[in-house]
C-alpha cells in the first residue's frame, strides 16, 4: 500500500494564558493512499491539531512529517502552501464556502490558483459537482443551498484537483442522517476510486462502519490503530 503521509515522533505543545497543554505527545503514524481513515477520540484529545500538523498548516515542536520525498517539517511556509495547493483537499465542519460565489465558482477556486485555464477549470468543476450529485445546483450561492448541499459543494471543491490526501474535519456533524450518510459514501468512494488518502476526524458513529481504518486518540497520544479488511 502506498504511503501518503508519514509522521515520526511528533509533539506539539500550546501555552494559552499560561496554561501549558500537550496537544500531541510523540505520535508516529502512516496514512495510506486509497484508504478511508477515521481519526476519533474525545474532545480536546488533539485530533484537529494532528490534522493541522499532517496537512502542514501547523509545524510540530518536535518530530518529522513527510509526504513522499517532501519533508513538511523542514519546508518553508511557501513550500507548505504549495504542498497543500497541489496535494491536499480540505473539508471543514462549517463548510467554509465563499458567500458571494456560485457552486461552480467555489469548486473552480483551487484550479484557478493552480493556473489551469478558465475553460478547462470550469469543465472540471462541473464534473466534480456532477460526481457529488449537484450538477443541477451549480449556479446557486451558499445562502440558497441546504447544509447537505453546501457540504457536497465543499467536497467537490476538495476533490476537483484529485488530491493525494483529503483531510476532513467533522464533515457530517452539521448534517442530518440522510445527508450524513451520503457524505460518508462519497468520502469512501474518493478513497477507493480516486485512490486518495482520506483522513477524517469525526465522532460520528455512522462513519465507523464505513472506515477502512480507525485511529483512536486520547490525551495527545494515539491509543489504538484498527484496520478493517476491505470488503
Partner 1 sequence: MADAVSNLYSDKGIANVEAFLLGSGDWRRTGSGGVSVTIVGIDVNAGALALARVVPSTLRNALKEPDTVVVDEGDSDKLDIKSGETAEISGRKVRVIGLIRGLRGLGGVNIVTSLDTAIALDRTLPSSGGATYYLSRAAPAEAETTILERLNKYSISPSIETWKADDLAAISTNYMLMESGAGIAFVFATLIALFIGALITSQTLLSAVAGNVPQYATLRALGVSFGDIRVIVIEQAAWVGIFGFILSFSVSLIISTFAEIFSIPYDLRLTTILGASVALLLVAIFACVIAIQRLRETDPATLLR
Interacting residues toward partner 1 by CB under 8 A: 48-49, 51-52, 55, 57-58, 77-78, 81-86, 88, 90, 92, 94, 96, 98, 109-110, 113, 157, 169, 201
In the complex with partner 1, which residue's Cβ is closer, 84 or 137?
84
In the complex with partner 1, which residue's Cβ is closer, 157 or 182?
157
CB-count burial class (<10 Å; 0-12, 13-18, 19+) for 178: exposed
Min dist. Cβ of residue 17 to partner 1 (A): 16
In the complex with partner 1, which residue's Cβ is closer, 88 or 134?
88
- What does the alpha-carbon distance between residue 121 and residue 101 come to, in Å, rounded to a whole number? 15
In the complex with partner 1, which residue's Cβ is closer, 162 or 227?
162
Min dist. Cβ of residue 1 to partner 1 (A): 25
Min dist. Cβ of residue 55 to partner 1 (A): 8
Q: What are phi and psi of 72, to 5 degrees?
A: -60, -40
Min dist. Cβ of residue 170 to partner 1 (A): 9
- What does the alpha-carbon distance between residue 122 and residue 105 come to, in Å, rounded to a whole number? 8
Given strand 19-32, what is the order of strands in its sheet?
A: 19-32, 3-16, 62-67, 70-71
In the complex with partner 1, which residue's Cβ is closer, 101 or 192?
101
Residue 141, CA distances (Å) to 11, 58, 94, 110, 127 in order: 40, 31, 15, 17, 18
- What does the alpha-carbon distance between residue 230 and residue 56 come to, in Å, rounded to a whole number? 29
Min dist. Cβ of residue 66 to partner 1 (A): 18
Amino acid at each position: 500500500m502506498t504511503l501518503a503521509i508519514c509522521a515520526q515522533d511528533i509533539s506539539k505543545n500550546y501555552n494559552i494564558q499560561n496554561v501549558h497543554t500537550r496537544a500531541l505527545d510523540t505520535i508516529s503514524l502512516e496514512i495510506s493512499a486509497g484508504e478511508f481513515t477515521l481519526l476519533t477520540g474525545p474532545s480536546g484529545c488533539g485530533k484537529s491539531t494532528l490534522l493541522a500538523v499532517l496537512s502542514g498548516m501547523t509545524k510540530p515542536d518536535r518530530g518529522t512529517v513527510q509526504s513522499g520525498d517532501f519533508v513538511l517539517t523542514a519546508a518553508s511556509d511557501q513550500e507548505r502552501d504549495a504542498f497543500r495547493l497541489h496535494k491536499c483537499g480540505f473539508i471543514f465542519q462549517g463548510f467554509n464556502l465563499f458567500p458571494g460565489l456560485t457552486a461552480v465558482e467555489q469548486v473552480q477556486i483551487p484550479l484557478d490558483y493552480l493556473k489551469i485555464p478558465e475553460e478547462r477549470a470550469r469543465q472540471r468543476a462541473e464534473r466534480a459537482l456532477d460526481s457529488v450529485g449537484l450538477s443541477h445546483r451549480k449556479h446557486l450561492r451558499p445562502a440558497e443551498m441546504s447544509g447537505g448541499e453546501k457540504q457536497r459543494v465543499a467536497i467537490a471543491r476538495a476533490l476537483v484537483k484529485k488530491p493525494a490526501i483529503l483531510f476532513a474535519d467533522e464533515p457530517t456533524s452539521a448534517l442530518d442522517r440522510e445527508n450524513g450518510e451520503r457524505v460518508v459514501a462519497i468520502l469512501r468512494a474518493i478513497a477507493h476510486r480516486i485512490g486518495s488518502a482520506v483522513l477524517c476526524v469525526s465522532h460520528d458513529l455512522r462513519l465507523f462502519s464505513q472506515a477502512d481504518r480507525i485511529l483512536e486518540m486520547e490525551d495527545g497520544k494515539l491509543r489504538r490503530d484498527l484496520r478493517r479488511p476491505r470488503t
